[in-house]
């Protein structure tokens, strides 16, 4: 099993802070995202390595294990237990620390156990102990209007197409786990999982806060003064609203159940809050201006 230096993958120093790691990860993930490089196998491979590196280095506990055990960081507890058993048995416990950063000289998992227990240990321990594969993490961007309905998208993972269903109402920053879509397990152990973090892209018309939507619409001065009717766009359809005479600027109206769908609760929606913005007329004729002058007189 080739050793992958996650620090080199992200292009950071071992002294990098957790915040530095997150910033670098976001930048690289956007650059190498499969959706932006659909036919670039090398870029897709780099994207997977970036996710693996972030999964480990952004977590202080995992990072500590990685610094000592390298790519076998997930088996750190078993290694420690094996070392304790070896020491308890009267043998000399092997030193796995130091500046190697977990590099076992290119040896694989079986070689490591062989060095620890001898040939007998290799056959009895490394062959029998099963470990779950490493989890993957990915980021998926979804436009607000697409997040309004349940729909499917296809992801590319290690040259394999994975079709996922995205439930209506998915939230920005929400994480969904796909069981068994991580790296392969060790010695027949179960595969790791894939954790997808959703990023909901903002919309030019609607603003989302929780399950509520906000929209600002313009009302001409004449309708605002005399009253009338306006058409308001929603993500489901368009509705007509009556405007009372003498409407004030920035007046808000709440439309129950016309907002965003509540995640995994069929038939439940937030509200739509409409803000009226009165648009002043331009290009008035002299006659129209004279009428306004008359109106301005006490």
> CA quadruple 25, 31, 35, 40: dihedral positive or negative?
negative
129 in Cβ contact with 78 (< 8 Å): yes
Q: Quick one: pLDDT at residue 124?
A: 45
Strands 175-178 and 194-201: antiparallel
For residue 37, what pLDDT band results from cuts at 50, 70 and 90?
confident
What percentage of the chain carries pLDDT values higher than 90? 38
**Is 35 a residue whose pLDDT tops 50?**
yes
3-state secondary structure of 213: strand
Higher pLDDT among residues 263 and 188, named by residue:
263
Q: Quick one: pLDDT band at residue 295, thresholds 50, 70, 90?
A: confident
pLDDT tens digits along 136-149? 888 899 999 999 99
Identify the pLDDT of residue 157.
Answer: 75
pLDDT digits (tens, 9 = 90+) for 272-290: 999 999 998 888 899 988 8
Report d(CA 148, CA 167) in Å as an integer.
9
**Mean pLDDT computed over 122-131:** 57
pLDDT at 150 over 90: yes
Q: What pLDDT score does 1 carry?
A: 39
Write out pLDDT tens, residues 42-89.
777 788 888 888 888 888 888 888 888 776 677 777 767 666 665 665
Average pLDDT over residues 81-98: 51
Q: What six digits make up the tokens of 186?
A: 């060790």
pLDDT at 104 over 70: no
Task: Express each pLDDT in 201-254 by its tens digit.
Answer: 999 999 999 999 999 999 999 999 999 999 999 998 899 999 999 999 999 999
80 vs 83: CA distance, rounded Å: 5
* Helix/strand/coil percent split, the chain, to 5: 35, 25, 40
What is the DSSP track for 141-206? EEEHHHHTS-EEEEEEETTEEEEEEE-TTPPTT-EEEETT-SSPPBTTPPP--EEEEEEEE--SS-
């Amino acid at each position: 099993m080739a050793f992958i230096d996650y620090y080199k993958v992200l292009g950071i120093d071992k002294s990098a802070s957790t915040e530095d790691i997150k910033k670098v990860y976001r930048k690289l993930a956007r650059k190498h995202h499969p959706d932006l490089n659909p036919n670039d196998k090398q870029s897709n491979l780099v994207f997977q390595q970036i996710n693996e590196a972030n999964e480990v280095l952004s977590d202080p506990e995992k990072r500590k294990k990685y610094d000592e055990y390298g790519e076998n960081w997930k088996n750190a507890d078993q290694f420690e237990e094996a070392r304790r058993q070896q020491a308890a048995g009267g043998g000399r416990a092997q030193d796995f620390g130091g500046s190697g950063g977990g590099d076992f000289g290119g040896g694989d998992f079986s070689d490591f156990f062989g060095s620890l227990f001898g040939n007998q240990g290799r056959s009895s321990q490394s062959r029998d102990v099963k470990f779950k594969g490493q989890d993957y993490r990915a980021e998926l961007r979804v436009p607000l209007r697409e997040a309004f309905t349940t729909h499917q998208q296809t992801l590319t993972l290690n040259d394999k197409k994975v079709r996922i269903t995205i439930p209506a109402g998915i939230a920005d920053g929400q994480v969904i786990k796909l069981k068994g879509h991580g790296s392969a397990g060790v010695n027949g152990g179960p595969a790791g999982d894939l954790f997808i973090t959703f990023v909901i892209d903002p919309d030019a018309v609607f603003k989302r806060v929780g399950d509520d939507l906000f929209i600002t619409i313009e009302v001409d001065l004449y309708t605002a003064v005399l009253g009338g009717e306006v058409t308001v766009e929603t993500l489901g359809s368009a509705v007509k609203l009556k405007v009372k005479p003498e409407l004030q600027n920035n007046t808000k109206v709440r439309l129950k159940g016309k907002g965003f769908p509540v995640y995994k609760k069929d038939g439940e929606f937030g509200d739509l809050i409409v803000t009226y913005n009165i648009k002043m007329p331009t290009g008035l004729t002299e006659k129209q201006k004279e009428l306004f002058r008359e109106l301005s007189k006490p």
